[in-house]
Amino acid sequence: MSKKVTVLKKLVKGNKSNLSLNFYPPVFNRKTGKKTRYEKTSYFIYNEFQSEIIYYTDANGKKQSKIEIVKDKKGYPKKITLTPAQKHHNRETNEMIELYRAKRFKEVISPDIYTEAELKSFKLTENKKKIFTEYFKEKAENATKSAGAWSASYGYFSKYYGNKLFSDIDKVLIEDFKNKLLNSFQLRSKKHKLKRNSAASYFIRFIQVLEMAYEENYLSENFKGRIEWIEEEEVMKNFLTIDECKILFATEFPDEVLKKYCVFALLTGLRYSDISNLKWGDVVRRHDTDFIDFRMKKTSAFQYHPISQEAINLMGDKQNRTDFVFERIAYHSLNDNLRKWLLKAEIEKKVTFHNFRTSYAVAQLEAGADIYLISKMLGHKNVSTTEIYAKIVDKRKISTINNIILGL
């Protein structure tokens, strides 16, 4: 924003004008602790026209006065002939006020005249007038992790509030948005309610964008520690047992690419994005064991992932380092065909491709693998994320207690 300092003239009695400075935008006044656009000076000049005091009564019945220019019969200001001394005074005063104006302008454009706290306060005041919704949209569009959740979170906020300024953001609005998410229908549906865990995920992104705004001096408060998040419900993940996987894989289906993806996911626990982007250059052999060295698409974490000989055989003959290992397939197409394959195999469970990752974890735990090692294989940052699979295994163990009934 360009800054300006100009000289203002104000009529006073005695055919004079007092001179003051006008600042744009307003500047910080150290004496008052507030922003101002005006600064009085002791300078004045003699006018070359007449002026007079006019008395009048305002709307409240109070007597007031103002100074106006005296005009002749044609409506022009009545001229005054200044004395040589008055003209000399005006020349000197105009030079002095211009020097002072230039000095104050130099001070205004120099950040050194303000403390860091003052500059931050000025910037915050300016930022609060900006549109928060546009800021939210930009952060959602540039998100590199959980992009879908970011996009949905922004979508719900925009739907319910439209363009809100940063100055509109307060605890009342935040709590209102949380309640709206908990009672909302899905963005593209008027029949299906938004699931609680989805609402929790979207609300987390909203709190994250508020934290970013606070750190970037758009908000004066950090709401992160003052707002209760939406507690997620514990959801037992769907999965296929090893026996069910064997039945599925033995069922003939024309989509061979789908079959390779599913078998490889079960053998390695990798996500669709990591399998789809896997290149031959990521496959290395160390100490008689094959590894996949790659950066996980979802978390950006680097992974050293040992894989079995069966998984290696599934990959086929080695190609150039930059070639993809598997033929690429769209995720929605992959899931559409998987549903058809499950139907043909007479498996009634509702599972998606991602559930093969769950099947991998459950199979490893049931085989006695250490949960910490499984956590590392899955690329989880915290072992608590992996514990949900351990609960699935415990539930399956409980289901066996009535398998043997002696009837004694």
- The mean pLDDT of the chain is 85
**Mean pLDDT, to the nearest integer, of 90-108?**
89
pLDDT at 163 over 90: yes
d(CA 364, CA 125): 56
d(CA 228, CA 223): 10
Amino acid 385: pLDDT: 65
Is 53:67 a contact under the CB 8 Å cutoff? yes
User: What's the CA angle centered on 223, arms 221 and 225, to 5 degrees?
Assistant: 125
Give the phi and the psi of residue 299 in degrees, each rounded to 5.
Answer: -105, -10
d(CA 150, CA 157): 11
d(CA 219, CA 42): 40
Tokens of 147: 């992009």
Amino acid 241: pLDDT: 85
In terms of Cβ atoms closer than 10 Å to its own Cβ (0-12, 13-18, 19+), residue 252 is exposed
- The number of angstroms, rounded, from the C-alpha of 384 to the middle of its chain's C-alpha atoms is 26
Place of tokens 């009634």: 348
**Mean pLDDT, to the nearest integer, of 143-160?**
90
Amino acid 234: pLDDT: 63
pTM of this prediction exceeds 0.75: no
Helix 256-268 × helix 242-250 angle, to 10°: 160
Strand order, beta sheet including 4-12: 4-12, 16-29, 34-46
Distances (CA, A) of 289 to 147, 149, 209, 305, 311: 35, 37, 44, 10, 12
Distances (CA, A) of 201 to 56, 272, 371: 66, 21, 25
d(CA 15, CA 68): 10
Q: What's the Rg (C-alpha) of the chain? A: 37
**Mean pLDDT, to the nearest integer, of 234-242?**
75
The answer regarding whether domain 242-398 maps to CATH 3.80.10.10 reads no
**pLDDT top residue among 32 and 247:** 247
Is 295:273 a contact under the CB 8 Å cutoff? no
Strand order, beta sheet including 289-295: 283-286, 289-295, 302-307
Going by pLDDT thresholds of 50, 70 and 90, the confidence category of residue 400 is low
d(CA 397, CA 360): 17
Amino acid 332: pLDDT: 87
Amino acid 116: pLDDT: 67
pLDDT at 290 over 60: yes
